[in-house]
Chains A and B, each alone.
Chain A
Amino acid sequence: MSRRHFVFLCLLPLSIFTLAFLAIPLGRLILASGESDRGWGIYLQILQTPRYLSTLLQTVVVSLAVTVAALAISTTAGLYLVRNRFVGRNVLLSILTLPLAFPGVVVGFMIILLGGRQGLVNQLLPGYWVFAYSITGLFLGYLYFSIPRVLLTVMAAAEKLDPALEEAARTLGAPPWRIVVDVLLPALAPALIAAGAIAFATAMGAFGTAFTLATDIDVLPMVIYTEFTLSANIAMASALSVVLGLVTWAMLLIARSFSGGAVAAGG
């Protein structure tokens, strides 16, 4: 067997699988989006129909809010954990990365346990605050699975920072907040952009969490799901999927151009 043959044999199974179950289905999905009466005008219809447009906006706003909150929390916690060694540090780190393996449905259930009708908050303050099934619950659910992902990216970058830079700033008399603004954040910027893009893309496409929490909140994955299963509006479900896929794909391209790896997206 020659080397060429061997290389061909090595790539053959992967190529067949990818062609049959990724390339052709995605092509079919794009074609299907143009198969309604409106043809390719369906993409224009998304922007012209108030329901789809407000869904799109609402999804973007929630995802942006989650991204900002996750960046703020995880950068603070990540920097603290990188720069301080103390008893229990590893325990805290384990807790903060635990949700990495939780599917979106489980995250949704975690939020129900906190803020559902039978949840902790409602037990402590009866009748005051049931937030799990609202946009607040969705925000907290997305935050729940975003914190660990952002944290790992930020910590990986923070560990590579040169402590000499910070020392130089300190000896030059910079107060702590100036060191954060002028030294740490610029040095971490690529990692923060990458982590933010991953968090945004994950929140945009999160189906499981929304499915558990909010059957009546219009976020993009839920609308795609109801268009497909309840309304049997295949073309619109496909078109919205294409839009969603393009947005999340573009986000992860940004993330990859700023830092090497990507953390699993699934919510």
Chain B
Amino acid sequence: MRHVARHVPLAVTLLACAFLLIPIIQSILAGLTVNYFRGLSSGLTLKWIGQVWQLYSGSIFLSIWLALACLVVTLVLGVPAAYVLARNPGRLSRVLEEFISLPLAIPGLALALALLQLYGSVQGFRTSWTFILVGHVLYTLPFMVRSVLSVLAAIDLKTLEEGAASLGAGPARRFIDIVVPNAMPGILAGALTVVTLSIGEFNLTWMLHTPYLKTLPVGLADSYASMRLEVASAYTLVFFVMIVPLLMAMQWASARAQRIMQ
């Protein structure tokens, strides 16, 4: 009995792995086989990937474009703000950090409803890609700010800046020459998080998108509803190929930022 009990944790771990991994393998196989129902014996093919490219390459490029635009905006909005929050730790900073973190707590669907009700009738904006961009920035900004903030909070910024100031460097010069280089591990981790999350964002995007502006995950939902299983699987495979390296890079950068902080 005791002998059996010792192996329960391993069994649970392996079962959990199987639960997560088996459908991933299924979708990879289904995306590459001629006929999923007849199984691998029907042969391997790249036909479905080709079809995905024909049908959905626009949505893939839109997602990449949105992720890069989102990165630029979160850098411009987030890094200077994180610097100010790190230099002035206090109640007001806590409240501001808490407030911009609301999109982590409030479901994307609710945020999208809020945006739609306020800006839904602004024609040029509602139908442009910048409307989706706003949603993505809203959702990813807290990750950028927190990532940079946690690195900056761990170093003695004040002393470094005083040194530079005594040599005559103004605030902007100090920001560029001292703050940004020191914050780099946090900026890198934040940037990879922003891009990864933006490429995968669905909940907000589904509400904000228009038929002419489908992102990758919106296209995925579309293919799950209306395409044959092989095409849906091939599209999912394309998504995996894009997102898994990003996820790994993001985890590596976050671990690195944390190591540097210690």
A binds B: yes
- Chain A residues with CB under 8 Å of chain B are 1-3, 5-7, 9-11, 13-14, 17-18, 21-26, 28-29, 32, 73-74, 76-77, 79-81, 92, 95-106, 108-114, 118, 120, 140, 143-144, 147-148, 176, 201, 204-208, 211-212, 221, 224-225, 228, 234, 237-238, 241-242, 244-245, 248-249, 251-253, 261-262, 264-267
Q: Which of B12, B36, B81 contacts A11 (CB 8 A)?
A: B81
Complex: how many Å from CA A81 to CA B146? Answer: 28
B150 CB → nearest A CB, Å: 9
The residue on B at minimum CB distance from A107 is: B23
Most chain A CB within a 10 A radius of its CB, from B10, B84, B203, B243: B203
B9 sits at the interface (CB 8 A): yes
Jot down 13 A-B pairs with beta carbons below 8 A, ordered by A. Answer: A11-B80, A14-B77, A24-B118, A80-B9, A100-B247, A101-B200, A105-B220, A110-B23, A147-B16, A252-B105, A262-B101, A266-B201, A267-B203
A68 CB → nearest B CB, Å: 14
Q: What residues of A have a CB within 8 angstroms of the CB of B145 in the complex? A: 14
B22 CB → nearest A CB, Å: 7
Contact B104 A264, beta carbon cutoff 8 Å:
yes
Query: How many residues of B sit at the interface, in one of the four size bands?
Result: 35 or more
In the complex where A22-B99, A22-B102, A101-B200 touch, is A92 in contact with B109 (Cβ < 8 A)?
Answer: no
B70 CB → nearest A CB, Å: 12
Q: What residues of A have a CB within 8 angstroms of the CB of B196 in the complex? A: 101
Contact A120 B27, beta carbon cutoff 8 Å:
no
B113 sits at the interface (CB 8 A): yes
B58 sits at the interface (CB 8 A): no
A46 CB → nearest B CB, Å: 15
The residue on B at minimum CB distance from A109 is: B224
B184 sits at the interface (CB 8 A): no
Q: Which of A92, A212, A234, A253 contacts B221 (CB 8 A)?
A: A212
Interface digits, B135-168 against A, CB 8 Å rule (1 contact, 0 not)?
0011101010110000000000000000000000
In the complex where A29-B114, A114-B23, A266-B197 touch, is A96 in contact with B17 (Cβ < 8 A)?
Answer: yes
The residue on A at minimum CB distance from B25 is: A113
Most chain B CB within a 10 A radius of its CB, from A7, A18, A267: A18
Contact B30 A113, beta carbon cutoff 8 Å:
yes
In the complex where A1-B171, A234-B117 touch, is A262 in contact with B104 (Cβ < 8 A)?
Answer: yes
Q: What residues of A have a CB within 8 angstroms of the CB of B139 in the complex? A: 266
B69 sits at the interface (CB 8 A): no
Contact B9 A211, beta carbon cutoff 8 Å:
no
Most chain B CB within a 10 A radius of its CB, from A11, A99, A102, A176: A102
Contact B10 A13, beta carbon cutoff 8 Å:
no
Interface digits, B102-126 against A, CB 8 Å rule (1 contact, 0 not)?
1111111111011101110000000
Q: What residues of A have a CB within 8 angstroms of the CB of B202 in the complex? A: 103-105, 207-208, 266
Complex: how many Å from CA A267 to CA B206? Answer: 13
Contact B221 A7, beta carbon cutoff 8 Å:
no
Contact B80 A144, beta carbon cutoff 8 Å:
no
Contact A95 B105, beta carbon cutoff 8 Å:
no
Contact A28 B118, beta carbon cutoff 8 Å:
yes
Contact A120 B22, beta carbon cutoff 8 Å:
yes
